[in-house]
Amino acid sequence: MKIAIIGFGSVGRGVAEVLLEKREILRKFIGNYKVVAVTDSRGGVYDEKGLDLKEILNIKRKRGSLPRQVTSMDVVRDLDFDICIEVTPTNIENGEPGLTHIRECLKRGISVVTSNKGPLVVAFKELMDLAEKNNAKLMFEATVGGAVPVIKLAKIDLAGNEIISVKGILNGTCNYILSRMEKELLPYEIILEEAKELGIAETDPTYDVEGIDASAKLVIIANALMGLNARFEDVERVGITDLTPEAFKVALENGYTIRLIAEATRDYLKVSPRLVPINHPLAIGGTLNALLIETDLAGEVFVIGRGAGSRETASAIISDLICLSRSSRLS
Amino acid sequence: MSNMLTMVVELEDKPGQLIRVLEPISRLGGNVISITHKRDEITPLGRIPVRIAIQIDESKIDQLIEEIERKGIVIRSYNRIKHTVTTSLLLIGHIIHTDLRDTVDKIDQTGFAEVVEMRIVMPELNKPSTAFIKLSAVDEERLKESLKILKDVCRRKDIMVIEPL
């Protein structure tokens, strides 16, 4: 199996490290594999005989970018490989550059594993149809909930169930801020600064605190699990920036806390701060993610775990990779 | 699920009036949910309308009304709500500045839903305040409808509504 890694930020590097580290174990699942292409936003390297990942990781660490031997577009359009791991950064506006990368691969009948939310939010149905038409697969476990199994849990383990609704915590940064506000009863701004210092919130936290990231994930979950054809604009979205310590105080006095909840039903998609009973499974602390899935046969199923991090995301990508190789061997 | 009764009584503005209403409620096993003095709606005769929400056994309601009236207390109106469903929510924003009365009235005017409990916390003047509200309605459908009315009013007034899960 020849793998191309498109995107070499923290997720791409995390995947490369796991592919190196777990080579013996992974061979048992996916057979012999080699990474033939690795690209980043500046350039990339290609070797049909297989690249030395250790050396590539070293070059990236030292120089900050890869040599300009090939570009991402060269790889996805023209070069020879079997599976694409597309892990460029998310762009919610138009899905690029990931959308083009994924389209080009699928058109060539090459299956794609991605952690990139943008293309799936912008063009979910188009990409799924394109994959089917070309006898390829598009796997995207890593786009939602980080290491937490969501997509394959519903599609494989809960196969045959109708997913009636989902409710969950899909953004670890917001959950950290809210659970700290609950504990300290301090203003949002102070806790946000703390989260920035700890590297939990970014310098510009808009994407997280305005519920944009959670909404993108909700759209993917609703489309993949519930067969909807929802778009980002369909999500009724309220962020956490206006929450006050008093809100937590009054909520707690009445047995509630406040969490940013992403909810999808057949009637609406909503990301907003909600009152959550303090003993409810979704009243979780820290940067964790969790999802409560309501089904017709299995009833309610609850999953919880780490929603971000390069190794955690690599976990989801590797499991997609194994799943792909199994299904291709079966067919 | 219990039966809810809300009534507006007109009380004279002197000590010991409220207890005269509460005594029969208590004796008949009623549970007082909220008491709101509408001091801004004082009557021409100088009486203060007081809105009382209670949970009480359906069969005791007629007796309660009779007993209160026998004491010479004016019951301006009362409204029984059967099998109430209740939900809690938080409002954050300039609740007082934007006329809280009007926000609550919009719900109470529906006749099928009421704000039965409210707690307001104001940190400082000109800072947004927070209200914890309990909303009751005759059934789930009506509860949803009243929640929608409240959300519409709050959207217009730029008040954030935090709904329950």
- Nearest by Cα to A238 from A254, A220, A258, A261: A261
Are residues B8 and B75 located together in one domain of the fold?
Answer: yes
Q: Is the dihedral of CA B28, B32, B36, B37 positive or negative?
A: positive
The catalytic residue among A60, A117, A167, A217 is: A217
pLDDT at B59 over 90: no
B46-84 core/surface letters (b: 16 or more CB in 10 A; e: else): ebbbbbbbbbbeeebbeebbebbeeeebeeeeeebbeeb
Tell me, yes or no, whether A124 lies in a domain: yes
Q: Which residues of A touch B164 (CB under 8 A)?
A: 256, 274-276
Same domain assignment for residues A316 and A299: no
Residues A173 and A118 in one domain: no
Tens of pLDDT, residues A153-208: 999 999 999 999 999 999 999 999 999 999 999 999 999 999 999 999 999 999 99
Q: Least CA distance to B163: which residue of chain A?
A: A274
Select the residue of B88, B93, B160 nearest A275 (Cβ to Cβ): B88
Beta carbons within 8 Å of B9's beta carbon, 6+ residues apart: B21, B49, B50, B52, B68, B73, B74, B75, B76
* pLDDT band at A331; cut points 50, 70, 90: very low
| Percent share of chain A, pLDDT over 90 | 97
Q: Is the pLDDT of residue B1 over 70?
A: no
Nearest of B92, B118, B10, B67 to residue A273 by alpha carbon: B92
B69 pLDDT more than 60 = yes
CATH code of the domain containing B13: 3.30.70.260
- Calculate mean pLDDT across residues A97-102: 98
The alpha carbon of residue A273 is apart from the nearest alpha carbon of chain B, in Å, by: 6
d(CA B108, CA B135): 10
CB contact under 8 A, A250 and B164: no
Q: Are A62 and A34 in contact (CB under 8 A)?
A: no
Decide if pLDDT at A312 tops 50: yes
Mutate to test the interface with B, among A174, A185, A236, A244 (most CBs of B within 10 A): A244
Its pTM stands at 0.84
Average pLDDT for residues B20-27, to the nearest whole number? 94
Residues of A in contact with B131 (CB under 8 A): 250
Domain count, chain B: 2
What domain range is B112 assigned to? 85-162
Mean pLDDT computed over B1-25: 86
Q: How far apart are CA A90 and CA B20, in angstroms?
A: 66
Structure tokens at A267: 């009637």
pLDDT at A50 > cutoff 80: yes
Residue A122: how many other CB atoms lie within 10 Å: 21
pLDDT of residue B82: 65
Chain A: closest CA distance from residue B68 (Å): 32
ipTM greater than 0.85: no
Number of domains in chain A: 2
- β-partners of residue A59 are none
What pLDDT score was predicted for residue A329? 60
The answer as to whether A152 is a domain residue is no
Tokens (6 digits) for A275: 């009152």
Mean pLDDT of chain B: 86
pLDDT at B100 over 80: no
**Closest listed residue to residue B134, CA positions, set A258, A185, A270, A256:** A256
* E strand or H helix that includes residue A246: helix A245-253
Q: Which chain A residue shows the shortest CA-CA distance from B128?
A: A244
Task: Tell me the residue type at A183.
Answer: K
Measured CA to CA, the distance from residue B41 to residue B36 in angstroms comes to 12
User: What pLDDT does B2 receive?
Assistant: 55
> Is the CB of residue B49 less than 8 Å from the CB of residue B10?
yes
Does B98 lie in the same domain as B44?
A: no
* Chain B nearest-CA residue for A239: B160
Least confident of A255-259, B11-15, B119-123: B119-123
- pLDDT at position A151, please? 97
Query: Could you give the residue ranges of the DSSP H alpha helices within chain B?
Result: 18-27, 61-70, 100-108, 140-156
Q: Please tell me the least confidently modeled range out of A66-70, A139-143, B77-81, B150-154.
A: B77-81
Q: Residue A280: list chain B partners with CB under 8 A.
A: 165
User: Residue A40 burial by CB count (10 A; 0-12/13-18/19+): exposed, middle or buried?
Assistant: buried
A292 interfacial to chain B (CB closer than 8 Å) = no
Task: Say how far residue B142 (Cα) sits from the centre of its chain.
Answer: 17
Residues of A in contact with B121 (CB under 8 A): 246, 249-250
Q: Find the DSSP H helices in B13-156.
A: 18-27, 61-70, 100-108, 140-156
Domain that holds residue A324: 2-145+310-330
Strands (E) in B13-128, as ranges, are 31-37, 47-55, 74-81, 85-93, 113-121
Average pLDDT of chain A? 95
Q: Are the beta carbons of A167 and A291 closer than 8 angstroms? A: yes
Q: CATH number of the domain that B157 lies in?
A: 3.30.70.2690
Q: What pLDDT sits at residue A56?
A: 96
Query: Are residues A297 and A215 located together in one domain of the fold?
Result: yes
CB contact under 8 A, B164 and A275: yes
Find, in chain A, the residue whose alpha carbon is nearest to that of B127.
Answer: A244
- Give A214-270 pLDDT, tens digit per residue: 999 999 999 999 999 999 999 999 999 999 999 999 999 999 999 999 999 999 999
CB-side neighbour CA atoms (13 Å) of A298: 18
The mean per-residue pLDDT over the stretch A81-106 comes to 96
Question: Contact B129/B103 with Cβ under 8 angstroms?
Answer: no
With contact defined as beta carbons under 8 Å apart, do A281 and A261 qualify? Answer: no
Judging contacts by C-beta atoms under 8 Å, the chain A residues touching residue B130 are 244, 246-247, 249-250
Q: Among this protein's residues, is A22 annotated catalytic?
A: no
Q: Is residue A37 in some structural domain?
A: yes
Residue B34, pLDDT score: 80
User: Domain of A16: which CATH number?
Assistant: 3.40.50.720
A243: distance to nearest CA of chain B, Å?
7
pLDDT band per the 50, 70, 90 thresholds, residue B4: confident
E strand segments, A2-50: 2-6, 34-39, 44-46
**Chain segment B141-160, per-residue pLDDT in tens:** 889 998 999 999 898 888 99
Q: Are residues B22 and B69 in the same domain?
A: yes
Tell whether A169 is within 8 A of chain B (Cβ). no
DSSP label of A89 = P
CB-based contact B128 A244, cutoff 8 Å: yes
Instruction: Judge whether A157 lies within some domain.
Output: no
Place B83 in a pLDDT band, splitting at 50, 70 and 90: low
Percent of chain A surpassing pLDDT 70: 99
